[in-house]
Amino acid sequence: MIPVLGFAAYSGTGKTTLIEQIIPRLKKEGIRLAVIKHDAHGLKFDKEGKDSWRFSNAGADYSLVNGPEQSAIFVSRPLSLEEAIGMITDVDLILIEGYKTGTFDKVGISRIETGKGFPDDPQHFKALVTDDTTYLEKTDTNLPPVFALNDVDGITNWILDTYIREV
């Protein structure tokens, strides 16, 4: 079973930036990764007129483009998160960005300037990442581990200890 860890926060909080900084650190440790990004805006990757687009428009449920350095699978329907996770193999860890709900472990991220706080009760997360000193001073001992927004090494080490080294 591949461990799954989500990063939950409101838009503009820095989820992508944080994950982007964590990935090379995990890769340096030899960790094979997959990242699933939720997009609620109706994404389009395939280009009209290209062969894969033509196959999908002709009715193919899946159209795969396989190149010398990358491959892409176009699925002609939305996938549930569970289906997307089930398609991933041969990795040590799956990171998820943008799904605020779900039964997988999540890191809650909050940035003071957004004015929104965490997207759920802080105690529901496995770890917290914030610039709010109220949490960073860790006066509430019931909270999970708390990291500063810029403590990418600390967050990465926590991920390694919790999801890779202890598994």
Report the pLDDT averaged over residues 63-76: 88
Against a cut of 0.85, is the pTM above it? yes
* Amino acid in position 104: F
Q: Kindly report the average pLDDT of the chain as a whole number.
A: 91
Residue 9 confidence (pLDDT): 95
Report the pLDDT averaged over residues 140-151: 90
Report the pLDDT averaged over residues 79-95: 94
The per-residue pLDDT for range 108-136, each reduced to its tens digit, is: 999 999 999 999 999 999 999 999 998 98
Does the CA dihedral 73-1-107-28 come out positive or negative? Answer: negative
* Domain boundary assignment for the chain: 4-43+78-164
86 — pLDDT class (breaks 50, 70, 90): very high
User: What CATH number belongs to 4-43+78-164?
Assistant: 3.40.50.300
**What residues are paired with 148 via a beta bridge?**
130
User: Does the pLDDT at position 89 exceed 90?
Assistant: yes
- Write the DSSP assignment of 16-66 as a string of letters: HHHHHHHHHHHHHTT--EEEEE--TT----SPTTSHHHHHHHTT-SEEEEE
